[in-house]
Structure 1
Amino acid sequence: MFTRAVLVILVFSTQMFALLCFADTDAEVGFTIANQTPAASEKMIASDLQYPANIYQLDRFFAHHLLIVEKATHRLHLFRAGDSNEGFPSYLQSYVIATGQTSGDKSNSGDLKTPEGIYQLINFLPNKELLRQYGNDGKKYGIGAFVLDYPNLMDRKLGKTGGGIWLHSTDDESRLLKGLDSKGCVVVGNQNLKDISQYIELEHTPIIIVQDLFFLRKETWNNNREMIRLMIQDWLDAWKNENLDRYIGHYHYDFKDPIRGNFRSFRAYKQAVFQNPGRPVVDIDNLSILAFGDYAVVNLRQIYKSNTIDDIGRKTLYLKKNERYQWKIIAEQWSSVKSGRSHGDEFTPSMRFFK
């Protein structure tokens, strides 16, 4: 027997989500807060009548807090998982930011653009480390920097290049007034970085970067979320019952596994596994659902037991809609769960990075 941990992240197309947004003009699909004052923006985000189209469910273990960077308004919005078990997002605060000197989504190294997508904060570099690595140039990053996992798997599938994308502070806060003033990083003030850092747990605090933040009416938002949850449940049920056709039917024909290979090879592998004696015990919990552009991301903890494997941990499933607008898994990853907390323990905001 061996053990590893699996958090599942499902990523899928959200092309249809935009069609479900409501518009404030006939020319727009959905509406944004790009031209509103910060106070009006924050009021809209905090409304109980509408929800950000990028957040469908937050979880208190894998996504207790979440950051949304909105490039159009030069704002970073902080959310937390709501008090109920339904995972409704609860808005906390917004902060002024600066992003890449060139507008648009990053695609190449050195293009001075801030990437757009769903990312994790995977490392922290304090001021002392920045000065050690970069000398006097390290001063421009202020009191510290959080490292994003750009390029992530979906970025690499799209051929995007580059790296070194951070959420960092600055030694010159007048940069924030310019809006477009970094080489691709997200820049905040020193005190604001300290404030934001209280809610960050590495690899457990997603950061979504968008050009514009869109909203859905609550009914539409709930309907979209239920479609996702039902898809996940059917995928899980097919796995539990080793129904190969139904299980493999949740995978995109362009699916590629880093070990097993393409869709056909993966299907042959799963067919052999399902023919082993006995059925596995599979369960999931800690569900969070995030969305971006043509995709969305679902995080969950997966528990798996069979005659040869005893697994609890982190898995990543990337989903995209096929030509029939059905969610299909296009790639998957797994890794162990990394957290200083035991499963079930509540996350407590604190100055863990700045003491």
Structure 2
Amino acid sequence: MRSLFIWGKRSTCLLALLMLAPPARPIVSNPAKPQFLEEKIGSASIGSPEQRILAAIDHIRNGRLADARATVNALLLEQPNYRLAHLLSGDLYAMRTMPLNNIGAGSGKLATDQLNDLRKEALARITNRKTKEPQALLPAHLLVFAPSQQYAILVDAAASRIYVFKNVDGVPSYVTDHYATIGKLGADKFKEGDQRTPLGVYFVTSHLTRSYLDKTRGAQADLYGVGAWPISFPNEIDKSEGRTGSGIWLHGVPANTYARAPWASNGCVAMTNEEMLDIAQYIQIGQTPVVIVPKAEWVSKVEWQSRHDAALSLIDGWREEWESLKTQPYLNRYAKQFKSDDGQDLATWSHQKTLVSAGKRWSKVHLDELSIFTSGGPNPRLTTSFKQDYRSNNLDNQMKKRQYWQQEDGAWKIIFEGAAT
């Protein structure tokens, strides 16, 4: 009975450590006389590496330390470079003879920054397990899919999580999600080298295979693991705001690690190699949006439908006013801070459009392959992309266009418009 009592207290302590609570008190009554307890053989949990690391935490919570040990051991046989599993393994061994005051206290000489990174990873995974919204609700950021867009990727920077949603008759349907790494200094990239991940709506532009990276990057290719999928940063609005940088990719991790810390990249979004390959199967080059938000917003189907309808109505109102030569209502759709892709401000743009409209007797505007995504955050923006077919008595023009909208005086206004790049 005394042995069971001591193990129960130690399991409670380690649970507090895993939840990153304040330091707990020593868990043996006389630390000067530690007791070495013989541990029985446990039963290993099955599932993905993340499911098993969380199962080990559950076993500790329930006082099943032998099962925690068996689960961690089995996980390390499969993923020998899983550093968080090694950390937990060290703690489980250390608990046999000593009290622990924090997760990783049994890790020996592990550097402080490495230990803190592993603690952050543990917290990110534990926190996500409590979050059920992706399966029960819809992402407010994926409002309108173009018919050709089969999937969309949503990156929640605050949660260090990447989600995949399928376009099911225009409605986002949850497919999968994985732990992900973002920039060392967080999100909202502004300039080259600031080690931040950009926020906004981007598109996957290409696939850089591992063999290609080996040829072009040499030894540095290992940083990207199984390969890389570049995204379109800086996009049109980034450039208009003076944001700089390049080489923002979705990619894997080096061979000597299973996963990186939540904030550890130079601005890219990194996943375990297995999970990057899982995400890759849903990527359409040139089509798949990657929506990176400071914090994901989840809404009911009714609320999502309302926002979806409002977004479509907004774009159709703009199209109808332009087509009907309602020049002033059309120009009222543009923000005071508006910029065109050729650098025109609102005054110059309005003057030009007024002159052009005066020479029209009729016009027809048709939009195809329309998509609408929102970046969220305290200052949300709508990103609209579409194929535009414009015809009038003196001009026929077809182009792929992109607009960025934001709130101004309580209404959505266009702050950038131009050819999609």
Matched to 1:310, the amino acid is D
SS at match of 2:244: coil
Q: CA deviation at 1:53?
A: 1.9
Matched to 2:195, the amino acid is L
Matched to 1:46, the amino acid is Q
Q: CA deviation at 1:321?
A: 1.5
**1:233 aligned onto 2:322:** no
Question: For 1:305 and 1:326, how far apart are their aligned partners in 2?
Answer: 29
Aligned in 2, Cα 1:94/1:279: closer, same or farther, shift over 3 Å?
Answer: same
Of 150, 153, 157, which aligns to 1:64?
150
CA contact 1:114–1:184 (8 Å) conserved in 2:
yes
Within a 5 Å distance, the mapping from 1:87-102 to structure 2 comes to 87-102=170-185
Unaligned runs of 5+ in 2: 1-122
Q: CA deviation at 1:37?
A: 5.0
Q: CA deviation at 1:38?
A: 4.3
Question: For 2:405 and 2:124, how far apart are their aligned partners in 1?
Answer: 29
Within a 5 Å distance, the mapping from 1:163-182 to structure 2 comes to 163-172=246-255, 174=257, 176-182=259-265
Question: For 1:131 and 1:177, how far apart are their aligned partners in 2?
Answer: 21
SS at match of 2:352: helix
Aligned in 2, Cα 1:288/1:308: closer, same or farther, shift over 3 Å?
Answer: same
Q: CA deviation at 1:249?
A: 1.2
Q: CA deviation at 1:252?
A: 1.1
Matched to 2:390, the amino acid is Y
Identity across matched positions, percent: 28
Across the aligned residues of Structure 1 and Structure 2, the Cα RMSD in angstroms comes to 2.4
Aligned in 2, Cα 1:259/1:73: closer, same or farther, shift over 3 Å?
Answer: closer
Higher helix proportion, which one? 2
Q: CA deviation at 1:78?
A: 0.2
Within a 5 Å distance, the mapping from 1:192-341 to structure 2 comes to 192-259=275-342, 261-292=344-375, 293=377, 294=379, 295-322=381-408, 324-335=409-420
SS at match of 2:186: coil
The answer for the alignment partner of 2:133 in structure 1 is 44
Of 52, 63, 78, which aligns to 2:164?
78
SS at match of 1:261: coil
Aligned in 2, Cα 1:70/1:244: closer, same or farther, shift over 3 Å?
Answer: same
Matched to 2:145, the amino acid is L
TM-score of the superposed pair, with normalisation by structure 2: 0.65
The answer for the alignment partner of 1:341 in structure 2 is none
The structure number with the bigger radius of gyration is: 2
Equivalent residue pairs, number: 296
Q: CA deviation at 1:160?
A: 2.7
Question: For 1:308 and 1:123, how far apart are their aligned partners in 2?
Answer: 38
CA contact 2:187–2:197 (8 Å) conserved in 1:
yes
Matched to 1:185, the amino acid is C
Task: Find runs of 4+ consecutive structure 1 residues off by over 4 angstroms.
Answer: 33-40
SS at match of 1:129: helix
Aligned in 2, Cα 1:34/1:227: closer, same or farther, shift over 3 Å?
Answer: farther
Q: CA deviation at 1:198?
A: 2.1
CA contact 2:188–2:196 (8 Å) conserved in 1:
yes
The answer for the alignment partner of 1:187 in structure 2 is 270
Q: CA deviation at 1:185?
A: 0.9
**1:111 aligned onto 2:197:** no
CA contact 2:157–2:182 (8 Å) conserved in 1:
yes
CA contact 1:260–1:269 (8 Å) conserved in 2:
no
CA contact 1:34–1:212 (8 Å) conserved in 2:
no
The answer for the alignment partner of 2:70 in structure 1 is none
The answer for the alignment partner of 1:55 in structure 2 is 142
Matched to 1:262, the amino acid is D
SS at match of 1:155: helix
Aligned in 2, Cα 1:212/1:173: closer, same or farther, shift over 3 Å?
Answer: farther
Question: For 1:35 and 1:94, how far apart are their aligned partners in 2?
Answer: 12
CA contact 1:98–1:175 (8 Å) conserved in 2:
no
Aligned in 2, Cα 1:232/1:133: closer, same or farther, shift over 3 Å?
Answer: same
Higher strand proportion, which one? 1
SS at match of 1:123: coil
Unaligned runs of 5+ in 1: 1-32, 337-355
1:322-345 C-alpha deviation (Å, 9 max, x unpaired): 1x2111111111148xxxxxxxxx
Matched to 1:70, the amino acid is D
Matched to 1:146, the amino acid is W
Aligned in 2, Cα 1:99/1:172: closer, same or farther, shift over 3 Å?
Answer: farther
Question: For 2:159 and 2:420, how far apart are their aligned partners in 1?
Answer: 35
Matched to 2:140, the amino acid is A
Q: CA deviation at 1:275?
A: 2.3
1:224-269 C-alpha deviation (Å, 9 max, x unpaired): 3333222211111111111111111111122122337221221122
CA contact 2:143–2:311 (8 Å) conserved in 1:
no
Between stretches 52-61 and 200-209, larger displacement belongs to: 52-61
Query: Relative contact order: is structure 1 or structure 2 higher (C-alpha 8 Å, sep ≥ 6)?
Result: 1
The answer for the alignment partner of 2:65 in structure 1 is none
Question: For 2:139 and 2:317, how far apart are their aligned partners in 1?
Answer: 26
Matched to 2:251, the amino acid is H
Aligned in 2, Cα 1:75/1:335: closer, same or farther, shift over 3 Å?
Answer: closer
